Amino acid sequence: MKILKDDEAIRRIKCAKGVAVLTGAGISAESGIPIFRGEEGLWTKMSPEEMASFEAFYHNTAIVSEWYQHRRDIIDKSEPNSGHKALKMLEGLVGDFSLITQNIDGLHQRAGSGSVIELHGNIMENYCIKCNQQYSPQEFDEIYQQNPEHIPRCYCGGLIRPNVVWFGEQLPVECIENAYQAAINSDIFLVVGTSAYVAPASDLPRLAKQNGSYLIEINPNKTAISHIVDLRLEGSSGVVLPLLVDDFKEIMLENKQFTR
């Protein structure tokens, strides 16, 4: 074992049929994508209402669009890190696996993870709020450049916006329902790189624990749920996750040999 020393954790992994993971900004920060909270977070430099609300987008289209383009440029230049890749490996080890993320950068998909539950949307996607026509970032920019002072409009006349959940908006019903179900069904629930302050995502670890799941937190700092987790692994996800997944693999292989 490289990182797991807790006998109960090892026992629970041996018995686990379902694993769910919740990731936050911390895992993407290791790929060079700025976080929103914390001492160096974006929200310490600007108000969320200035850039991340429909009102801001409607009244300050040029500024908000340029800010989103800047963030897309950062994401385009970023690559999935060892933490993202470790979760892809874990997905291949577990029969029932769910990956829930608060991030909007798509790095989990680029690492090869499938069926990612994106609670807050994906910044690389855009859609018409009237007919739901989808637009790539390139298509959005082309339309925007034609009239940069106004919100881009679809051929149907509807407004085109980034596919992200802004402040004051509800999370997609299907996504949050799938996330709740994954938490309830999990035997092991990993909380990775999130401060766990923002509901309803912050409710998921608690819901998992209430339904008997073994709660493991990976974070360099203590969070809002550190006092309720069953096991806290202090450190960055890029370092801790590969070690943890190696232990998962070893435990599961040993268990399969033992139960033959």
C-alpha triplet 85, 3, 81: angle, nearest 5°: 20
- State which residues form the domain around 119: 7-258
With respect to residue 2, please indicate whether it lies within any of the assigned structural domains: no
Residue range 120-126: average pLDDT?
A: 94
With respect to residue 40, please indicate whether it lies within any of the assigned structural domains: yes
Q: Are 38 and 24 in contact (CB under 8 A)?
A: no
With respect to residue 44, please indicate whether it lies within any of the assigned structural domains: yes
CATH of the domain at 29: 3.40.50.1220
Residue 77 has pLDDT above 50, yes or no: yes
Residue 51 has pLDDT above 80, yes or no: no
With respect to residue 106, please indicate whether it lies within any of the assigned structural domains: yes
Per-residue pLDDT at 5: 86
With respect to residue 85, please indicate whether it lies within any of the assigned structural domains: yes
With respect to residue 125, please indicate whether it lies within any of the assigned structural domains: yes
Residue range 217-223: average pLDDT?
A: 95
**Residue 83, token pair as written in the block:** 């933490």
Residue 108 has pLDDT above 90, yes or no: yes
Q: How many domains in the chain?
A: 1
Residue 36 has pLDDT above 60, yes or no: no
Residues annotated catalytic, as ranges: 120
Calculate what percentage of the chain has a pLDDT beyond 70: 91
With respect to residue 1, please indicate whether it lies within any of the assigned structural domains: no
pLDDT in tens, 54-69: 888 888 877 888 788 8
d(CA 215, CA 227): 11
